[in-house]
Amino acid sequence: MMDDFEFTMDAASPNRNAYRTRIPGLEASLVGAGEAYPISDLSATGLSYLDPGRRHGRGEVLQLDLTIAKRIFLEDVTAKVMRVTDDGVTGVAFEGLTRQKELRLDKLILEAQKRLIAQRKKTENQNGKSE
């Protein structure tokens, strides 16, 4: 019965709007500047990258190319800087993604989730655990 359905948000992370993952080799490059930053984590709504020089300030709008192993994955993505930590982690939120870019991003994140699940199952099986 539909009345029995309940949905709650995790109170431990009220500011998180989407699943975050790490993709090895994923970088953000400033369009036209040639600067590339390794991406710490990626979600459907944004990403974070390490910039020890803290060159970008809160509220700044950036144009980014996302690359995997130096090959363009998403081109000319608009992102707004939402926070910059003291240790140089910069968090940005995507703005105005086209439907095509959203779909490519969602697919990449889903593939990362699948790999993580497969790794966990493999580890559990190697440790003698099963569900």
For residue 5, the one-letter residue type is F
For 52, residues 6+ apart whose C-beta sits below 8 A from its C-beta are: 87, 88
Instruction: Tell which residue, 99, 57, 92, 58, has the closest CA to residue 78.
Output: 92
For residue 103, the one-letter residue type is L
> What is residue 5's predicted lDDT score, i.e. its pLDDT?
38
> What is residue 2's predicted lDDT score, i.e. its pLDDT?
44
What kind and span of H or E run contains 116? helix 99-126
> What is residue 28's predicted lDDT score, i.e. its pLDDT?
93
Conformational region of residue 58, where left means phi above 0, alpha means psi within -120 to 50, and beta covers everything else: beta
pLDDT in tens, the chain (131 residues): 444 434 334 444 445 566 677 888 899 999 888 788 999 999 999 999 998 888 889 999 999 999 998 899 999 999 999 999 998 899 999 999 999 999 999 998 888 888 888 888 888 888 876 54
> What is residue 11's predicted lDDT score, i.e. its pLDDT?
41
Domains of the chain: 16-126 (2.40.10.220)
Task: Write out the E strands in the chain.
Answer: 26-30, 36-42, 46-50, 61-68, 71-84, 89-95
What is the token pair recorded at 33? Answer: 């500047």
> What is residue 128's predicted lDDT score, i.e. its pLDDT?
74
